[in-house]
Amino acid sequence: MIKINLLPAKAVKRDSRNREFVIISVVALVAVAAVIIFLSTAQAAKLQAREDQITKLKAEIEELQRKVKEVDAFKAKQEKLRQKIGIIEQLRKQKTGPVRILDDLSMKVPEEVWVTRYAEEGGQVRITGNGIDDESISQFLQKLETSPYFQGVELLFIRPIEINKKRVRNFEITAHSVLSAPPAPKPAPPPPKKAAGGSAKGGGDEG
């Protein structure tokens, strides 16, 4: 009877299966690594896009804040100008003096000061307003003292107040308006002089 040794064939099949397993494992590992790299790259790209978007939004917010500040500053200047014009119109309605005093008062108000009320009675003036700080109010007071239309300028008080959640200084100033004071009475005209020839004529009549 002839015997056939099948061990080499089994070994070949086992080696073939081992090679296939190794190849499949390697391919699987490569595929998993590729998927991981792809997902990591995609995630990094998303994160970078979000970072770029956040940076852009921050820049837009800063630009908007700058524009808001410019608008607020413009509104503040516009309000101060409106108040100055209001004071001038008030003085014109009261006919307290010529255009010179109106222009002079508006020119005396600093940028950091705005007048809220101007009252005048019998030549006595009361000016109420607000300022950013004591120094700006002091400058306004000094400018009023140099005006030819106001005398006896005095600061009644300065007190802190809050306007639109901002701390400012409220003040009141009194003065005497020169042009609003009653005019001094005119001196009486001198008596008419007698003619020189009258006395001589009278002496001739007596002779």
- Tens digit of each residue's pLDDT (9 = 90 or more) over 31-81: 888 889 888 888 888 888 888 889 888 888 988 888 787 777 777 777 766
Does some domain include residue 75?
no
pTM of the model: 0.45
Q: What is the pLDDT of residue 155?
A: 92
β-sheet bridge partners, residue 164 = none
Does some domain include residue 119?
yes
Cα(68)–Cα(111) distance, integer angstroms: 20
Task: Give CA separation, 198 vs 191, 193, 201, 202, in Å.
Answer: 17, 11, 5, 6
Cα(129)–Cα(115) distance, integer angstroms: 4
- Looking at the structure of the chain, the number of domains it has is 1
Contacts of 182 (CB under 8 A, 6+ apart): 123
**Judging by beta carbons within 10 Å of its beta carbon (0-12, 13-18, 19+), is residue 131 exposed, middle or buried?**
buried
Does some domain include residue 134?
yes
Task: Give CA separation, 15 vs 9, 10, 12, 18, 19, in Å.
Answer: 10, 9, 5, 5, 6
The CATH number assigned to the domain holding 118 equals 3.30.1360.100
Higher pLDDT, 82 or 88: 82
Domain that holds residue 117: 96-177
- CA torsion, ordered 27, 28, 33, 38, to nearest 10 deg: 100
